[in-house]
Amino acid sequence: MFDGQNVLELDGGHLDLSYHDEHLWPSMTPAGSIRNYTFGIGDPQVGPLVQLGLVSSLAEEPLDWRHVIDPPHFHGSDQFRVLAGGDWNVGGKSLRTGDYVFQEAGKVYREHPDSSEPAWIVLVIGDRRGALPTIISDADRETLIDGGENFRAADADNYAHPAGPKGASAIDTSLGGCSRGYLFGALHDIDNANPVTATFGDREAGPSVQMYCVAAGQVIREASVCGTEQFLVITKGSVAIGPARYLAGDMRLQRADEPMAAVVAGAEGAELTVVVADRRHTPVGATR
């Protein structure tokens, strides 16, 4: 079930979003150095929460990432990130465009820009019950940015996840498990014939992920329909879905039970991530 958080609307069969439309994105800061879209998909209780971040380093708006924006903390849910553009740092490791990372619930970390270039971050919190962060330092909790309902500090005594603030990790990928809380990778390393697949979040109704790196003209997925929402992110090259063409930095949210035309890589090939909101559903007619 789509929840646009009173900002986004899914009126038709799909919703197109793009990091290239920066001026349309809601801002979390006065000058617009942090812009964000947040929406829920899949199961309304345990399904994923998608947080899209567009971060720019502005001279007129210096930010204290260490104490105000993103102090050390952990979440009660598994997380998945793919970097759609720029440079980013998660848990002390640098990410570049097309890099991804799975992160276990309860892992203490920070994230922040890794250069002065704009960063386009796609974050999928696998189980929305574990979305709120537990801030490690009381002092940082007092100075934390007011980012709205989805970014406030968690109340440990009233945490939504039944396992408590550290949640319960359930990351399972075709590449194996996490090491010290993380599994890092890059889409450009994925074999053309063997997409990377994964599940995370709630063990019964959490999301699944497929990541592709394909050659020009390749049919990534035949025309299909799925009983839950699908979220597609292009990080390199382009894809065509029917008459629509998507470039790196573009995204498409497909409505549940709405037929989708074949997904075909463009002349430059494509790196594509597909998040299926509820693992209990599989696109019917998909061949890969």
* CA gap 135, 242 in Å, rounded: 45
Q: pLDDT tens, 85-100?
A: 999 999 999 999 999 9
Q: What percent of the chain has pLDDT over 70?
A: 99
Is 27 a residue whose pLDDT tops 70? Answer: yes
Provide the sign of the torsion angle of the four alpha carbons 200, 203, 207, 210, taken in this order. positive
More confident residue, 156 or 106: 106
Is 288 a residue whose pLDDT tops 50? Answer: no
Q: Can you tell me whether residue 181 is helix, strand or coil?
A: coil
* CA gap 117, 174 in Å, rounded: 32
The pLDDT value given to residue 285: 84
Note whether 106 and 33 are within 8 A (CB): no
Note whether 207 and 282 are within 8 A (CB): no
Is 287 a residue whose pLDDT tops 80? Answer: no
For residues 178-202, give the mean pLDDT.
Answer: 97
More confident residue, 287 or 232: 232
DSSP H or E segment with residue 16: strand 14-18
The encoded tokens of residue 274 equal 């597909």
Q: Specify the residue for token string 């597909």.
A: 274
Note whether 118 and 55 are within 8 A (CB): yes
The pLDDT value given to residue 29: 95
Is 286 a residue whose pLDDT tops 60? Answer: no
CATH superfamily of 14-276: Jelly Rolls (2.60.120.10)
The encoded tokens of residue 287 equal 């061949």
* CA gap 137, 45 in Å, rounded: 29
For residues 160-167, give the mean pLDDT.
Answer: 95
Is 181 a residue whose pLDDT tops 80? Answer: yes
Note whether 109 and 88 are within 8 A (CB): no
Q: Specify the residue for token string 């382009």.
A: 238
Q: Can you tell me whether residue 138 is helix, strand or coil?
A: helix
Q: Name the residue type at position 2.
A: F
List % helix, strand, coil for the chain (3-state, nearest 5): 10, 40, 50
The pLDDT value given to residue 156: 83
Buried b (16+ CB within 10 A) or exposed e, 231-250: bbbbbbbbbbbeeeebebbb
